[in-house]
Amino acid sequence: MTAKLPRPIQRLIETAISAQKNAYCPYSRYPVGAAVLTDGGRIFAGCNVENASYGLSLCAERVAVFNAVTRRQTSIKAICVVASSARPCGACRQVMFEFASKDTELYLVDLSPNNRRQAVTRTTVHKMLPGAFDPIASGLLPPNPKNLLRNRQHTRRAKKSTRKRR
């Protein structure tokens, strides 16, 4: 199935499959891999990491998104999730929505580690989370949140240079 997909999407799926092998899931025994493709063409991976205190666990999707964000890649073009019956949880859907556009593709790859067959479902982040909390629509963020971040960074630099002059 992946042979018919564009090469960047094939790489995205391969990266998510590879990430699934690194999942730390001794409690659920449910390994999940994820990868995000940024508008800049870079791919970042993530796997689920569980903890005995379940609330401290992180899903693969959020790990992949946060991995991209830590490298200043906040505009996501496509996301892939790999698991047996791959479906992002509600928290992951909301996090993906934060960095997605209406056209951000979401590839759900159903892959059981025991059986090498994979089924790829293509949808969008927006279709997976109808009625999402939209920080732009709510007025919390401007239409281009990057401008807000730039303004904050510019203000910090200005304050630092003012302090140095004193």
Output the pTM of the full model: 0.81
What contacts 56, CB < 8 A, 6 or more positions away?
Answer: none
Q: Residue 155: what pLDDT? A: 52
Q: Residue 9: what pLDDT? A: 97
Token code pair at residue 15: 């990266």
Q: Residue 43: what pLDDT? A: 98
Superfamily of domain 2-130: Cytidine Deaminase, domain 2 (3.40.140.10)
What residue ranges do the domains of the chain occupy? 2-130, 134-166
CA distance 79 to 73: 13
Confidence of residue 141 (pLDDT cuts 50, 70, 90): confident
Higher pLDDT pick, 39 / 117: 39
The answer to whether residue 163 scores a pLDDT higher than 70 is no
- 47-51, 75-79, 143-147 — which is least confidently predicted? 143-147
pLDDT, one tens digit per residue, over 73-110 is 999 999 999 999 999 999 999 999 999 988 899 999 99
Measured in whole angstroms, how far is the alpha carbon of residue 5 from the centre of its chain?
20
Per the CB < 8 A criterion, the answer to whether 80 and 12 are in contact is yes
pLDDT, one tens digit per residue, over 107-129 is 999 986 666 678 999 999 999 99
Question: Which residues are catalytically annotated?
Answer: 61
Q: Residue 92: what pLDDT? A: 96
Count of Cβ atoms closer than 10 Å to residue 50 Cβ:
18
The values of phi and psi at residue 42, to 5°, are -90, 150
Confidence of residue 58 (pLDDT cuts 50, 70, 90): very high
3-state secondary structure of 73: coil
